[in-house]
Amino acid sequence: MIVEAEMILIKNARVMDPESGFDQVTDILLDGKRIRQIGKVDDVSGIEQVIDASGMIAAPGLIDVHVHFRDPGFTYKEDLQTGSAAAAAGGFTTVVCMANTKPVVDSVDIYKEIEDRCEQLPIKVWQAAAVSKGFEGKELTDMDALYEAGVRGFTDDGIPLMDEKLVEEAMKKAKELDVPISLHEEDPAYIKQPGVNQGKVSEQLNYGGASYLAEAVMVKRDCELAVKTGAKVDIQHISSGVAVDYVKEAKEKGAECLRRGVSTPFHVDRRGRIKIRNTGKNEPATSNRRRPSEDHQRITGRYDRDHCDRPRPTLQRRERQTIRSAPSGITGIETSLALGVTELVEKGYLSMMQLLEKMTINPAKLYNMEQGRLQEGKPADVVLFDPEEEWEVKEYKSK
């Protein structure tokens, strides 16, 4: 919720804080930057704005630690202004942008230029930096200098890091700095064509697809390295049950792996349909290969988001293209909460509190944020929504 009044009173909301488990109908008093009080407020003198939130849930502002705002270099796809507007429309008050811009965010100068522009946005936008210089996977960036400049996460998202020694060194440095390192897990040796799972669908389409092994072999490797180094590792885009099992084993050994599964309808074809449209092709293929239903059952409830935009003209062209030539990508930040409520909460995979936990406090802890908590003294980042409201998606803030 983006508002400009200094003192704001939210009355009669169902206040839900996933960290503490607080779940009660009451009031919230905000002083503009912080939550001043949670509890009934009778004296409204000096309060500029009063919001009656009867029948609504008040939760910590949502957090997405994996978005692509494409700025700089690819602003015809998305930019900081349209991306942040889309995030706010979806209830997100904090996001972390990936480093696959042009130029790649691999130096302090590039990072600072983006950070300075983020100060003017209506939500909190963090910028991750690259693990390797130029995304080439050969030499580490100056992670110390980038950390000193303000970077709080590193990733070569979209490109797998094939040199295991480089990955180990990056994990050791991430451990030292106490920041997450996020990894795109696809071994190209097991990919004939990206975007579709290798199986019945790819056979009928005569489209080679990507084997689950592309993901599995690299997840296994990096889980073992996470155990060895003790780094906080974000395994991105998990789509196969085998990879989920590897992460689970690593966590049992003490690794700080964040298991990230995909539970949105456009990622996993639960119904086993053969027909697939060009607009349903997505990359990274590890998160979007439309895995079989058994994989869906093993990853459902580990809600992952990856706001990866393509401009409307490209989407229109995709309808006329073959599956080989159609570009990948889908926008999801404006509909993520609604999809979670409809597909996960209403269908019994998660409780409302569990869904909010995965969309607030869990990503906040990954990045050591103070956001993601609806508690007195914490940032005044709040989302209000009616879980019973039905709405039709027609217009987007995103490009």
Are 11 and 367 in contact by the 8 Å Cβ rule? The answer is: no
- From the list 157, 164, 160, 162, the residue with the least C-alpha distance to 180 is 157
> Taking the CB of residue 88, how many other CB atoms lie within 10 A of it?
22
**Given the residues 269, 304, 309, 381, the one annotated as active site:** 309
Identify any residues that bridge with 197 across adjacent strands, giving them in sequence order.
Answer: 210
Query: Which tokens hold the place of 204?
Result: 């009928």
- Looking at residue 62, its amino acid is L
Assess whether 309 carries a catalytic annotation.
yes
Rounded to the nearest angstrom, the gap between the alpha carbon of residue 377 and the centroid of all alpha carbons in its chain is: 26
Q: What share of the chain is helix, strand, coil (3-state, %, to 5)?
A: 30, 20, 50
End-to-end CA distance of the chain: 21
The helix (H) or strand (E) run that includes residue 141 is none
Closest residue by Cα to residue 13 from 388, 391, 385: 385
Angle formed at CA 319 by CA 318 and CA 324, multiple of 5 degrees = 50
Q: Quickly list DSSP for 226-264.
A: HHHH--EEEEET--SHHHHHHHHHHHHTT-EEE-----S
Catalytic residue list: 309
